[in-house]
Amino acid sequence: MKAETDNNGKKYLFSKSLDTVFLAVNNVFKFIGLIFKEAFTAPFEWKEIINQCFNVGFKSLPLVSLTGFIIGIVFTKQSRPSLSTFGASSWLPSLISIAIIRALAPLVTALIAAGKVGSNIGAELGSMKVTEQIDAMEVSATNPFKYLVVTRVMATTFMMPVLVLYSGLVGMLGSFMNIHQNEQTSFAAFIKNAFSTISFLDINSSIFKAVCYGFTIGVAGCYQGYYAENGTQGVGKAANTAVVVAMFLIFIEEMIIVQFVNSIR
């Protein structure tokens, strides 16, 4: 009798947790649907969109520049011994360009943005939620969802491709400086060898990745912050969850997009 009761309790808990998961997924899809609806409905908050683009893009440049430059140097240093073993050091620029443009620049930049931008959005909206500033905006006849959520999601979606392209160029610059120091390769020769193996598909796929990553970061940060609760503890939880969820989804999207691009390459 006791074993039967325990089994019924486990089934109940499993069913309850499953219902919670489906309810959360349903809420997320409703949230995304509302974003698309408000994004194409007047009036448009152009001033706030530009302000958020500045916060997402320009304020992230120092960190993205440093990270991209270091990635270019480190990956070049790590790849040189392996290629030198086979006498293929001349292929180093091509290898670096493929690695940075196809994978490293989009993925690393997105992870940096998830940590910096995603946590900032989650904490900012979370603090506004728990201090009832969002409710005050509704009372003052302002659409808080359009002003706070849609503008931030559009900013992350628009600025992530710019940051990815910038990170790729900075990474290539770091790689060139390392190769020039060791092999005395000219800048013209480096550019010729680096971009001889890069196609428009590689660039377009990186931009597509960046758009998906930016949208994911914006949605994760805004969703967690917009529905934060439990005071200051909820603000910290919203910022932390936004980063974890965004990074998790970025890795899943990376795997799916790579499989799709390789199937049409």
pLDDT tens figures, 3-56:
455 555 555 444 555 667 778 788 888 988 989 998 888 888 889 999 999 999
Question: Per-residue pLDDT tens for 194-253?
Answer: 888 888 888 999 999 999 999 999 999 999 988 888 777 888 888 898 999 999 999 999
* Cβ pair 243, 113 in contact under 8 A: no
Dihedral of CA 126/128/131/134: which sign?
Answer: negative
Question: What are 138's two structure tokens?
Answer: 């509704």
- The residues spanned by each domain of the chain are 1-41, 46-264
* 51-101 pLDDT per residue, tens: 999 999 898 999 999 999 999 999 888 888 887 777 777 788 888 888 898
The predicted pLDDT at position 220 comes to 93
